[in-house]
Structure 1
Amino acid sequence: MKITATAIALALLPATLASPVEKRQSATAIVDSYMFSISLPSFSTHRHNRNPSYLIWTTDGCTSSPDNPFGFPFIPACHRHDFGYHNFRAQSRFTSNNKLRIDNKFRDDLYYQCNTNGHGAVCRALADVYYAAVRAFGGSDANRAAADGRLKVPVDDQTQEEHDALVAIYEEKVAAYEAAVKEAEAKGELPLFA
């Protein structure tokens, strides 16, 4: 039996035609996957390749905070955090619940960076400061969802008590970080800064 190139092409045609359609996911599913399911290194690869190109990949790094303080590689976590805020906003899904999920993933990504890069307690203490900062000061345009799932009340309408509690947590985390830095400096684990 002789197999021709035409016979092979015809046999592969249904799989070739079906694969792009079957593999195509909705933009919301891709954003959710990139935000919450794939590893930080995998996310960084997609970000580097701008894959898919129609998602929002812009970032300001860690905003006004250092991107890599003491050499702690926080920038990839900041990139994914910005990706989450930007794309959830663009998809009209930036609710207070999704903001919390994005912020929690940011904390997890910061801890991942501290743990996988051999950094210790000071790195984790600073990760807690970054996390508390986004909880207290970031994404005030997130919306609260009504019972029916529709967006209704902006988070910046949160009570003064809620805001004050988040700011107090931030201040506690800053104090814990400063204490961890002094301890690490005393042990010679960090350079002394004048």
Structure 2
Amino acid sequence: MRGLTGAGPNRARETIQAAITAVSVLAALALLVSACGTGGTGARDEGPAHADSVTGGGTTRTLSPGKTPKHVDAVRLIKDDPRVSAAVKRDLKPCAADEYPVDVSYGDLTGGSVDDIVVNVLTCGDAVGVGAYVYREEGDGYESVFRAEEPPVYAEIDRGDLVVTKQVYEKGDPVSNPSGEDVITYHWSAGRFAKKYSTRNEYSNAVGDGATPPPGN
């Protein structure tokens, strides 16, 4: 009996301790849930702040929304332009599937509210430039403000100016090996492109192709 009586208090104490432990665990869990709830609110509070910073960054990147480049159908632009030669229009065909040989660039050349469009028309085989054109937004469409159709020719935008490169061929030069190039820079002034300066670069043909070595070698 003593043994049974002695076990009773021990079990009672163990039961009480277990109950206390359980209450402590429940209390800890409650605090943890509360903390997580607070932390979750904090994270949600930080969410809009992050979104604001992203929006702010977007605003910074679009300080001049009117300058955002517009995607245009460059092929249709060329074919609808009455100033483009019939030969260029006739030869402007897909090289593969629906891929046309055109390079399109957007940039500020004329100081308009929307970026200007530079279109280079190339050949499919060797990508020789056969025409270079610049279009400026005018009303609901685009106006042709520059045209160069003396191949090989290529136009680019360089720091607000239009730079046109023309390959120079001497008699007997193969298409792949011109004698030089003319680089002409145009600047928009008084409603038109005016030549700013030009540079002639001559290529050396002294190396290879059976060139005669200098005496003594």
Which structure's residues are more often helix, by fraction?
1
Task: Say yes or no: TM over 0.5.
Answer: no
The structure whose RCO (Cα within 8 Å, separation 6+) is larger is: 1
Higher CA-based Rg: 2
TM-score bin (small chain) = 0.3 to 0.5
